[in-house]
Structure 1
Amino acid sequence: MSDDVGPTEWGTSVGVGPWEGAWPTDERYDPELLEHGDRRNVVDHYRYWRREAIVADLDTRRHDFHVAIENFQHDHNIGTVVRTANAFAARGVHIVGRRRWNRRGAMVTDRYQHVHHHPDVESLVAWARAEGLAVVAVDNTPGAEPVERAALPPRCVLLFGQEGPGISDDSRGGADQVVSIAQFGSTRSINAGVAAGIVMHTWVQQHADLANAW
């Protein structure tokens, strides 16, 4: 059975059973999944497809934004960020700082998403410059532009800090644009995974072709 099934999906009715009728001859289909069923957390379009075929097809659909998150204190939100980046078809996810992170929250979506590592912010910014990508840091700091009013660049890296301390001074200094998320309650900060979802969706609202959504 495929090892792409999320940790909460074994033994449930999620997905589809074995293929009924003559098997398709398209090489994108996985014989094991056709025989036993596909219980993975994938959209119906990709049912029974090999993982490599899904990634290849996603590569033709990915958007021109990347997501980066600082991981200098083993941030537990990274899995959520990766899962959301997959949902919005980010071009890539970049982990800045510590290489190790808790993948459980990603619900195996990291297997369908290109995940890169940078030892520090300087190397991330240098990579972004070489790729012609603007760096947009997200933090509720004085002088930040409300993302609700901001024009996000079509090609960019959305850079998020850690839960609590927010983005580092290096991130703020290397950013082409700093945006904030409007808040109306008593707490000072917002969960980093939630913040990433909000800003990614803002990019989608401004630049994505909704006709390509599932």
Structure 2
Amino acid sequence: MSENLGPTEWGSTVGVGPWSGPWPSDERYDPELLEHGDRRNVVDHYRYWRREAIIADLDLRRHDFHVAIENFQHDHNIGTVVRTANAFAAKAVHIVGRRRWNRRGAMVTDRYQHIHHHPDLASLRGYATEHDLALVAVDNTVGAEPIERTALPRRCVLLFGQEGPGLRDDSRRDADLVVSIAQFGSTRSINAGVAAGVVMHTWIEQHADLAEAW
């Protein structure tokens, strides 16, 4: 097993083969993975670990921001948002609207990410209030604060609209803060999954301890 920490997706192969040598006695390791190898989309630090052990360790590393995305029209970007939320160690992802969503873009990272469902915005708002989280809506609309010049709350829910219509009017109205992403081209908006990545990374730049990154 490699002692190097970090992603290996850009290598010639993904993952590792069967464990070489005596098996470790640590309960975090999965006997089946030790025997057959580990080709999952996980960083090297978690190679051969049980899924439950990975989740438990991530729970010690997760940041204070949550991510929410509206799913009233079965948005195909949700998988991408979940994968990015996992990469930045979001506390949880919240799906507002339809419960079902396309998991293909998540690249199985949803197995390691806490995901909650809310039938409507009122339910999400109630969760945010209960957990003392500011609700930050992301939308390029009149009156929004440029995120490039805005201090994001440390404890917050970053709320994104779906591709096309963007956020609903009540989502913007009920938010504690509405932020926008600076654009310079002809398009009126950027992909919802891309927008989510930009805003999450802005939170990381403002609040995360980069020494803890892989």
* TM-score, L = length of structure 1: 0.94
AA aligned to 1:183 is Q
Structure 1, unpaired ranges of 5+: 1-8
Q: Does the CA contact (< 8 Å) of 1:37 and 1:48 recur in 2?
A: yes
Question: 1:130: Cα distance to partner?
Answer: 0.9
- CA-to-aligned-CA distance 1:81-123 (integer Å, 9 cap, x gap): 0000000000000000000000011000000000000000111
| Corresponding residue number in structure 2 for 1:146 | 146
Contact 1:144 1:179 (8 Å CA) reproduced: yes
Show the counterpart of 1:189. 189
Distance 1:125 1:167 in 2: 15
Which residue does 2:4 correspond to in 1?
none
**What residue is the counterpart of 1:81 in the other structure?**
81
Determine if the alignment matches structure 1 residue 110 to structure 2 residue 110: yes
The amino acid that maps onto 1:51 is: R
How much does 1:13 deviate? 3.0
Q: 2:155 matched to which residue of 1?
A: 155
- Give yes or no for the alignment of 1:17 onto 2:17: yes
Does residue 1:174 correspond to 2:136, yes or no? no
The one-letter code matched in structure 1 to 2:169 is: D
> Where do residues 21-100 of structure 1 align in structure 2 (5 Å cutoff)?
21-100=21-100
Q: CA deviation at 1:173?
A: 1.3
Deviation of 1:16 after TM superposition, in Å, equals: 0.3
TM-score, normalization by structure 2: 0.94
The one-letter amino acid paired with 2:142 is P
What letter corresponds to residue 79 of structure 2 in structure 1?
G
State whether structure 2 residue 211 is matched by structure 1 residue 202. Answer: no
Paired letter, 1:77: N
Amino acid at match of 2:207: H
Q: Which runs of 5+ in 2 are unaligned?
A: 1-8
> Residue 203 of structure 2 aligns to which amino acid in structure 1?
W
Structure 1 stretches (4+) deviating beyond 3 angstroms? none
Q: Secondary structure at the match of 2:148?
A: coil
2: CA distance, partners of 1:178 / 1:57:
33
The answer to whether the Cα contact below 8 Å between 1:122 and 1:170 also exists between their aligned partners in 2 is: no
**Which amino acid in the other structure matches residue 33 of structure 2?**
L
1:199 and 1:13 mapped to 2: Cα distance? 31
- Separation of aligned partners in 1, 2:82 and 2:129: 23
Q: Deviations over 1:41-80 (max 9, x none)?
A: 1000000000000000000000000000000000000000
The size of the alignment, in residue pairs, is 204
Matched residue, 2:6: none
Question: What letter corresponds to residue 75 of structure 1 in structure 2?
Answer: D
How far has the Cα of 1:127 moved from its partner? 0.9
The one-letter code matched in structure 2 to 1:20 is S
Specify the alignment match of 1:122 in structure 2: 122
Which letter does structure 2 place at the counterpart of 1:46?
Y
CA RMSD of aligned residues (A): 1.0
SS in 1 for 2:125: helix
